Amino acid sequence: MTSNSRVAIDVGGTFTDVVELNPATGEIRFGKVPTTPSQPTAGVLDAFGTTEAPMAEVSMFTHGTTLGLNALLTRTGARTAVIGTAGFRDVYLLGRTDRRTNYDITYKKPPSLVERYDTFEVPERSLFDGSVHRPLDEEAARTVAATIAERGYDSVAVAFLHSYANPAHESRMREILAEVAPDVVVTVSHELSREYREYERTSTAVLDAYVKPIVRRYLSRLEDELAEGGFEGRFLMTRSGGGAMTASSAREQPVSLILSGPAGGVIGATAFGELIGQPNLITIDMGGTSLDASLVIDGEPVLHQGAEFENLPINTPSLYIHTIGAGGGSIAWLDDAGALQVGPQSAGADPGPASYGRGGTQPTFTDAALAVGYMGTTAALGGRLSLDDRLAVGALEPLAEKLEMTPLGLARGMIRISTTKIMGAVRAITVEVGRDPKDFALLSFGGGGGLVAVDVAHELGIPTVIVPPGQGAFSAFGMLFADVQHDFARTAVTPLAELDTPAVAASYDEMAAEASAALAAEGFAPDKQVLTRSVDVRYAGQEHTVTVPVPGGATGVAAGLAAVVEREFTELHERQYGHVMEDPIEITTLRLRASGQVDKPTLPKLGVRESGPAEPEGHRDVYVSADQPAVPYALYTREELLAGDEIAGPAVIHEHTATTVIHAGDQLRVGAHGEMVITVQGAAS
């Protein structure tokens, strides 16, 4: 290997983004290729084909994929069986008794991943303290395993009662399945979650088993193809919790990949915010199919311990990301009342928006942005794809006629509707949880983020918009910063007043030993391992908890644990819920996050213009309204801008992977690392 290049590839619904870093020079190259849904590995290899360094000279490859998520969305995962404790066969199918939609008489629960025919039970029983009430009936276990083999299941999820406290029966069931049904892929719940709540732990195991055969096949094929190309470096996958995991770990725990698609962007936003001194950020990532909104507070991404997919719990830590169907490929349509809607249906990568010239005929957000003048036809998107404005307008015309509008009027309406939907996504993670958007800067990225960011900021009163370098491939860029992570947890429901600090310390020591062994096996020396301890705390009788850091940090558990936890919990509870109570406090779960630190890229600084201001290369007419059908917007190429350059709106700044639009009164200044910092005029109060 003669180089040390690092490559990150993010497979999206429409485009596959690639970022290449040359650590020796600090040069970062961004690119895009079309996603290939029918051949998932083909798009990844196409992305590698755009890099300067051959595979043999790549030391680290970080990859993000929506393969598992897509299998769930389309219900095309593996045929899965579930094995539970005798008497608790229906834990997964019954779920919880809460109802999410109280007043919708047409509501139906999303279809289950398994039917009752697919659920089995085995006599065994452990108690909450780990003691064995009833030994595993191995003869019955073998009978169940034989039935699963005969019925031809692809995978099986094993979730026994209280296995978080004593996993011995689950481990033995896996051994029996390996003997009797060796072709069936097995997931055991305690390896994914060592926490109480049987339904949530079972759901996590089922989701893992449902996507595991598909993810395993994909990763095995991709690893083989990479090896054929000469790749010998470290292969990492981004995970839902905001870090990365080795490809070998991903094969064993693919449930951690399900919500990992947008994680790279949030990781990158956190690192970039630290670099430019912006610790509080709202992020919006507008891709080809969806938009993802998230928060970074005090330099840390917001995590929650219980994510969901279509009301199905995933009991692993996950970044707090709100996703809506508002991407560049979102299709315009009329609802039953004849009102215009945009999304969530998407033209995706095949055929894509009409303006791509690949056979698409339905009007999309991208077609609307091209028609009004936000985007142009001269610069090829990602250096490969040229847009056709005639096809865009042609796709808009039939719907415009139905609404008795002009095609450009329809296009402007589509952009406004998309902007309103995005505002709703931002409000959901700020206003609706007691946070004021004005306290944040808006970091916008993705292929479409720069088209709408200023409008969203104006309406929500956000004073500053930041557009990072390489915005169109920023999620892939963020993957370069992802440390390898493992999450460990132990249930320990205990009144805080009765907390046994030595026992807590012993539990953390056990998790720390397990974490260090895992990281060492993945090639991380002790000085590259960081262990972070926390604990879930609540008022007695409450359902929801607050996660607070454990004093002592990486060194262990400090003395006076209860007093410090009480103080931290009280402050955090008041901040999150607006009140505190006199009720007794209890802890529920001990948590440890183990990180294997990878070398972080160092972003080069832009040069400074020696004389004069940045000059536009021309102007582009933008349709603002029927009264302003052709407003001249100054046109700039981002790659030509230098640090300190200032641009007054209205202007369009196009670049290799995306476009940014600012309006009259907005002011843009280029930062030291190439970030565009936009001051939004007259943001709504």
Cβ atoms 208, 157 nearer than 8 A: yes
pLDDT number for residue 534? 92
Check whether 103 has a pLDDT greater than 50: yes
Cβ atoms 501, 608 nearer than 8 A: no
pLDDT number for residue 1? 41
| Overall average pLDDT of the 300-310 stretch | 81
How far apart, in Å, are the Cα atoms of 567 and each of 464, 539, 587? 34, 13, 13
pLDDT number for residue 30? 85
Query: How far does Cα 23 stand from its chain's mean position?
Result: 26
- ∠ CA 476-482-484 to the nearest 5 degrees? 135
Q: Report DSSP letters for 473-518, one per residue.
A: GHHHHHHTTPPEEEEEEEEEEEEGGG--HHHHHHHHHHHHHHHHHH
Check whether 658 has a pLDDT greater than 70: yes
Work out the burial of residue 147: count CB atoms within 10 Å of its CB; fewer than 13 is exposed, 13-18 middle, 19 or more buried: middle
Structure tokens at 511: 């998790």
pLDDT number for residue 628? 94
Check whether 576 has a pLDDT greater than 90: no
Q: Residue 353: CA atoms inside 13 Å, Cβ hemisphere, count?
A: 32
Q: Distance between CA 527 and CA 597 in Å, rounded?
A: 9
Short-list 92, 80, 77, 89, CA closest to 124:
89
Q: Which of 174-183, 226-235, 239-248, 307-316 has the highest mean pLDDT?
A: 174-183
DSSP label of 296? E
DSSP label of 84? E
The set of residues, in sequence order, having a beta carbon less than 8 Å from that of 331 and lying 6+ positions away, is 342, 343, 345, 346, 347, 362, 363, 364
Work out the burial of residue 263: count CB atoms within 10 Å of its CB; fewer than 13 is exposed, 13-18 middle, 19 or more buried: buried
| Overall average pLDDT of the 579-603 stretch | 90
Q: CA dihedral defined by 619, 625, 629, 635, rounded to 10 degrees?
A: 10
Q: Distance between CA 534 and CA 346 in Å, rounded?
A: 40
Q: How confident is the model at residue 304 (pLDDT cuts 50, 70, 90)?
A: confident
The set of residues, in sequence order, having a beta carbon less than 8 Å from that of 225 and lying 6+ positions away, is 41, 45
- The size of the chain, in residues, is 685
Question: Between 407-429 and 389-402, two packed helices, what is the crossing angle to 10 degrees?
Answer: 90
Cβ atoms 396, 410 nearer than 8 A: yes
Comparison of pLDDT for 582 and 15, the residue scoring more: 582
Find the helix or strand (DSSP H, E) in which 144 lies.
helix 138-151
Q: Distance between CA 405 and CA 398 in Å, rounded?
A: 10
Q: Distance between CA 595 and CA 245 in Å, rounded?
A: 10
Left (φ > 0), alpha (ψ -120 to 50) or beta: where does 501 sit? alpha
Q: How confident is the model at residue 93 (pLDDT cuts 50, 70, 90)?
A: very high
Check whether 685 has a pLDDT greater than 60: no
* Proportion of the chain in helix, strand, coil states, percent, rounded to 5: 35, 25, 40
Structure tokens at 465: 């918009």
The set of residues, in sequence order, having a beta carbon less than 8 Å from that of 586 and lying 6+ positions away, is 493, 494, 495, 496, 537, 538, 539, 540
Find the helix or strand (DSSP H, E) in which 410 lies.
helix 407-429
User: Which CB contacts under 8 angstroms, 24+ apart, belong to 663-669?
Assistant: 663/454, 663/455, 666/454, 669/644, 669/645
pLDDT in tens, 432-481: 888 899 999 999 999 899 999 999 999 999 999 999 998 988 988 999 98
Q: Distance between CA 363 and CA 403 in Å, rounded?
A: 14
pLDDT number for residue 210? 96
Left (φ > 0), alpha (ψ -120 to 50) or beta: where does 343 sit? left
Cis peptide leading into residue 351 (ω within 30°): yes
278 phi, psi to nearest 5 deg: -125, 90
The set of residues, in sequence order, having a beta carbon less than 8 Å from that of 139 and lying 6+ positions away, is none
pLDDT in tens, 498-552: 988 888 999 999 999 999 999 999 989 999 999 999 999 999 988 888 899 887 7
pLDDT number for residue 611? 85
Short-list 221, 289, 293, CA closest to 462:
293
Check whether 310 has a pLDDT greater than 80: no
Short-list 58, 53, 57, 62, CA closest to 17:
62
pLDDT in tens, 354-365: 999 889 899 999
pTM for the predicted model, two decimal places:
0.86
Q: How confident is the model at residue 287 (pLDDT cuts 50, 70, 90)?
A: confident
DSSP label of 13? S
Check whether 81 has a pLDDT greater than 60: yes
Q: How confident is the model at residue 261 (pLDDT cuts 50, 70, 90)?
A: confident
- ∠ CA 541-543-549 to the nearest 5 degrees? 100
| Overall average pLDDT of the 161-165 stretch | 95
| Overall average pLDDT of the 48-55 stretch | 88
Cβ atoms 146, 153 nearer than 8 A: no
pLDDT number for residue 379? 63
Look at 352-356, 378-382, 592-596 and tell me which has the smallest mean pLDDT: 378-382
Q: How confident is the model at residue 2 (pLDDT cuts 50, 70, 90)?
A: very low
pLDDT number for residue 380? 56
Check whether 643 has a pLDDT greater than 80: yes
Three-state secondary structure call for residue 622:
strand
Q: How confident is the model at residue 74 (pLDDT cuts 50, 70, 90)?
A: confident
pLDDT number for residue 631? 95
pLDDT in tens, 603-637: 888 899 988 899 999 999 999 999 999 999 999 99
